[in-house]
Amino acid sequence: MDKPRGPTSHDAVDRVRQVFRTRAVGHAGTLDPFATGLLVILLGKATRLARFVEQQAKTYVATVKLGVVTSTDDLTGEVVGGRADGRTGGPSQAAVEAILTGFLGAQRQRPPAFSAKRVAGERSYARARRGEAVEPAEVEIVVHAMELVGYDYPDLQFRTTVSAGTYVRALGRDLGERLGVGGHLTSLRREAIGPLRVELAVPLDRIGPESLLPPLAVLGHLPRLAVTQAEARDLAFGRAVRPSAGQSAGPLDWIVAVAPGERLVAVGRLRDDAFQPEVVLEAAG
């Protein structure tokens, strides 16, 4: 759903709970408090699908203010450094585009000090709020796309598609560092999670029963296994089924079992030529 500026991810979950009168509500990938854009909300048994949604690549549009470094790597923190570029208009657009291209590919990223990463058993942000110097361990990420959207120094806007676990705040911070002036994010908007686009989302104040999508809609990136009604009943009991000869996948690949009527029955993996359900959506009966 298209999350307007102001409410947090938790506010969105609370709103959905009120509308649908259920506590079984969760989201697939939180948004920073200052960010806007796509937030995927899951209800009922579909909350079990959050990890499959979260693992997909995400697309963002971010704005960086160059020349100013903050404690949080965004506009909510205190100014802790940075410098104005001595050249008229700041770094050239050619230099910016070259630096952006250099972010592409697999790499290690240092998460922001104000993040949910654990340092010595405690959330990094908790230590940072006490004034402690913290540096979360680097994580492996992949930047699939990085393009310049607009540049009018000191403001620089870019669009990026990144792997799960990537901090776009950290990309903005590192962009400023590579340009030699520092920087921090002033805006962030999530445009997509996998095939799910913000243009098709529902604003938070318009959520209602007509907003609901079938669970299968959030798993379009996973390969399918068509099953019969009888096989669907077996899967609902947690029993494995043997797929047709045409089905193939690696032992670590997730597959969705789909019954007639486009019903999502289960998510599982192939083991010893049999599909073993690990997350069951349909009740046995």
Q: Where are the alpha helices (DSSP H) in the chain?
A: 9-20, 50-54, 93-101, 124-129, 168-178, 229-236
Residue type for 245, please?
A
Residue type for 266, please?
A
What residues does 107 pair with on adjacent strands? 141
Give me the catalytic one of 2, 11, 14, 32.
Answer: 32
Report which of 75, 79, 140, 146 is spatially closest to residue 111, judged by C-alpha positions: 140
Question: Count of CB atoms within 10 A of residue 116's CB?
Answer: 12
DSSP-derived secondary structure for 160-191? EEE-TT--HHHHHHHHHHHTTS-EEEEEEEEE
Residue 129 · residue 113 · CB < 8 Å: no
Q: ∠ CA 273-279-282 to the nearest 5 degrees? A: 105
Q: What span, in angstroms and rounded, lies between the C-alpha atoms of 269 and 135?
A: 37
Return the residue matching tokens 């400023």.
176
CA distances from 49 to 160, 196, 243 (A): 25, 14, 22
Return the residue matching tokens 């007509």.
210
Based on the residue annotation, tell me whether 174 is a catalytic residue of this protein. no
Residues serving a catalytic function are 32
